[in-house]
Amino acid sequence: MYCLSALEHFANLSPPEIQRITFEIAMLGTKGFKVNNSEQKYELCSMQSTSGKFSGLHLLCIMYVGSKPIAPESTPSFDLSIEYAEAKAMFGA
């Protein structure tokens, strides 16, 4: 569902806006994300229109989805390809 919400959010954004969000997440990620702790929240300045606070797993999903239109050939160190494919199918339905 995190991938689906990212697809929905990015649908109305330009590539530079998507890139700004994914870059902010990448910078936050240099300190590491606690993806197995949903209580730990991280704040994104570039997505203040939403709650602005996200779990580590949520941020990884947003970054994964955001990287697809910018650098489709990239291979991130985490694999969300199955989740992404399911979200794309749901988004297109």
Q: Which pLDDT score, from 0 to 100, does residue 49 have? A: 63
pTM assigned to the model: 0.87
Domain layout of the chain by residue ranges: 2-92
Q: How far is CA 11 from the centre of its chain?
A: 13
Q: Which pLDDT score, from 0 to 100, does residue 50 have? A: 64
The rounded distance, in Å, linking the Cα atoms of 66 and 93 is: 20
Q: Which pLDDT score, from 0 to 100, does residue 71 have? A: 79
The rounded distance, in Å, linking the Cα atoms of 12 and 36 is: 30
User: What residues does 53 pair with on adjacent strands?
Assistant: 43
Residue ranges in the chain whose pLDDT is less than 50: none
Q: Which amino acid is at 26?
A: A
Q: Which pLDDT score, from 0 to 100, does residue 19 have? A: 92
